[in-house]
Structure 1
Amino acid sequence: MRAIEQAFLSSKMLIAVGLAAMALVQTPPSPPECRISQTDEACARARRAAFEARQGLTSIEAEAGTGAEIYRAGFTHGFGGDMPTIAFERRPGESPRVVVYLSPDKQMKAPVPLSDWEAVRRAARFADRELAPDMGSIYPPGMTPPHKVCLHAWSTWIEMANTTTPEGRDVPVRRRGESACGGELTATFAFDLAARAVSLLPDCVLLDRKREPSDVIRLALCGNLDGDRMAAAGLMNQIGVGHADPGQRTTRERAWSAWMGTNADAVLTWPGDERRYRQTGMLRSIGAFLAEKEAEERGFRVNLMKFSGVSGTRVEVSGRIETDSVDGEGRVNGGFFAPFTQVWGWDRAWQEWRLEGWTVEPFQPRT
């Protein structure tokens, strides 16, 4: 159940997922009539079709009609957003493969060894079953068991095409959904598919598990690596993703300076400012400038979104700087954002990535 527990421990990183993969995790509201009748079958089909469209999925019924053998799992995180869908597929005339569906034009794929494929098939036998309730009790007669509280639980669902039940029946379509609160066979199978997918995707497995223990979120973040994805993953491990956190130092200037790399030699170009800020050796004008902006601007934050490996020693990062505006009562009411591009290079001497250039575009209103 470790994978299910990880889903509860990773809510902070969901902010990064929302920033780094905004187009992939936004969930449009349900039609008005479906908000009234959440259990209506027509609404369930409509929501399923909308989800499939957002992720570029073909309905499991249509997949079954092609003769493909498919095991797939989907997730909705505890705040209601879509997460990647993981599918283990064996299509007619093709070897097994794992596919991570992120959007209609974004998937990650890898071949699946026979041992993994057989393991998925074995685990799927009872994945759509509900365990019988435990009739025993560890509490003595007359004692009321304590109430269990579960907040912001993930929802999981699984779908299978052309599989065989433990009783030996061939079934075109099997599906079941389950909450991670007390998740049992279905949730366990779904999170196990995510863990197996990470292990088979060589770029995704590089992402630091200590920084992000959830396999589902690691797959979402891995979807934001392009080009030389191994180099991009290495930089993401070093500087993070989402809201940049320079860590703790004696001053914020020193923290930002250390975040840019031990031997950084970088130039920052800021919109509306003719000066070019330099970071090299003891000259820490970029670190000082960022610390100054943090102190002056309400909600100043640096959001790292896309990592593109140009080569094994060069990575470009795109993102946006954001600030908040407040109304007369001190409440956040919009703000501003500015897209930026960073260039990072690999320092062979220090064996780390260092910032080389940072260009910030003009600020725009943010609603």
Structure 2
Amino acid sequence: MSFMVGVAALILAQDPVVSRDCLDDNGVDRCDSISQAATRARLGVTSIEDEAASGAEVYRAFYVDGYGQEMPAVAFERRPGASPVATVYGFAGQTLSGPVSFETWNRVRTESRFADRQLEQLPAAGGFPSICLHSWVSTVEMANSSPERFRLEPVRRRTEDACSDGLTVRFAFRLAEIAVETIAPCDQLETTRYRSHVNILAACMALRGDRFTAVELRNARSEIGPRRGLDPADPRAWRAALGTNGSPVLNWAGVEVRTERGRDNRVAEFIVARLAELDNLRFEQRTFEGLDARRGLVTGVASYRAGDDRRVAPYRQLWVWDPNLSEWMLSEWIIDPFAPEA
């Protein structure tokens, strides 16, 4: 018995205490080198040590949201023989990039100066402990980022929890803000609909094809269904959400429904009936693709609960711009057959 207790004590003694700054909402250590390497692999990002060895000057940030989910990474990069660019790294090889002005590059450089420093924590006001839940965790990495320190420290890195409200987190979110300003058309997304500039960049990565058309469509139809304050059980509210003067065709797993322009609300009525029939029916948008200046394609997933199971079906929508009403109108909505979620 005493032998087992001794072994357990030895194991605990060898296990280092993980800083609160490193732990995401799921308890994953985001300071761990293996965890960081896995994140870079998923995002297709080169190690900062390799970037430094190549002579590149890089300022970048990785983000984990308040529910432990990895978000796109943001980087400002200046490689030998090339002008600086801002790049957003997403998953499955997706990237967004744009050129960086001289003024913007110097702003990033200047604001990076203390990004790897830790602020002294002051006692809570009134002696009461602060409560911080579902906070983000950010990692900042910099290569050859400070000329006066380059010889001794070609790489700087720090991970910080947003509860700290420290210099690392501030710089990480500042990089995302500057990237939104820099990369078109991310700067045209309506910022009030998103929690942070990182979320704006994630939304921007869902734009395809003619991104200028895609961003217009996303701003106009960023959710499927009536706007807040309208009754989702009212077919008239759904008619407005799908285009007030349109004549959409809905194909629901092989069942076709048509709305005659100005004569009926059959598609809206069909959707309202399904909402009443299916438990927790939802339509989640995934991508917005600009086909040309007046046509856009939205893809997504419909889902509902069936007992203890969740059933899902991919869908796609064709939207057309009506110049007379200055409004996007749904033209066609195809929802594939539902199947149990894998």
TM-score (norm 1): 0.81
- Between structure 1 and structure 2, the one with the greater Rg is 2
Structure showing greater relative contact order (alpha-carbon pairs closer than 8 Å, 6 or more residues apart): 1
Q: Quote the RMSD (CA, aligned, Å).
A: 2.2
Q: Does the C-alpha gap of structure 1 residues 48 and 167 become closer, same or farther in structure 2, counting only changes over 3 Å?
A: closer
Query: Where do 1:132-211 residues align within 5 Å?
Result: 132-134=120-122, 139=126, 145-164=127-146, 171-211=153-193
Letter in 2 for 1:342: Q
How far apart are the structure 2 equivalents of 1:43 and 1:119? 27
Corresponding residue number in structure 2 for 1:124: 112
Letter in 2 for 1:233: V
- 284-293 or 354-363, which deviates more: 354-363
Matching of residue 86 in structure 1 with residue 74 in structure 2: yes
Which of residues 40, 56, 62 in structure 1 aligns to 2:44? 56
CA offset at residue 130 of structure 1? 0.9
CA contact (8 A) 1:307 1:317 kept: yes
How far apart are the structure 2 equivalents of 1:304 and 1:283? 26
Corresponding residue number in structure 1 for 2:330: 355
How far apart are the structure 2 equivalents of 1:158 and 1:321? 37
CA contact (8 A) 2:30 2:159 kept: no
Contiguous gaps of at least 5 residues in structure 1: 1-35, 140-144, 327-332
Letter in 1 for 2:274: K
Letter in 2 for 1:186: T
Matching of residue 300 in structure 1 with residue 281 in structure 2: yes
Contiguous gaps of at least 5 residues in structure 2: 1-14, 20-28
Corresponding residue number in structure 2 for 1:100: 88
Corresponding residue number in structure 1 for 2:321: 346
Matching of residue 219 in structure 1 with residue 201 in structure 2: yes
Letter in 2 for 1:306: T
Letter in 2 for 1:266: P
Q: Does the C-alpha gap of structure 1 residues 94 and 264 become closer, same or farther in structure 2, counting only changes over 3 Å?
A: same
Q: C-alpha deviations, 1:192-222, integer Å up to 9, x for none?
A: 0000000011111111112124100010011
CA offset at residue 165 of structure 1? 6.7
Matching of residue 113 in structure 1 with residue 93 in structure 2: no
CA contact (8 A) 2:74 2:88 kept: yes
CA contact (8 A) 1:125 1:165 kept: no
Q: C-alpha deviations, 1:98-120, integer Å up to 9, x for none?
A: 01000252110100000000011
Identity of aligned residues (%): 38
How far apart are the structure 1 equivalents of 2:77 and 2:293? 31
How far apart are the structure 2 equivalents of 1:282 and 1:172? 69
CA offset at residue 171 of structure 1? 2.1
How far apart are the structure 2 equivalents of 1:64 and 1:291? 57
How far apart are the structure 2 equivalents of 1:73 and 1:42? 13
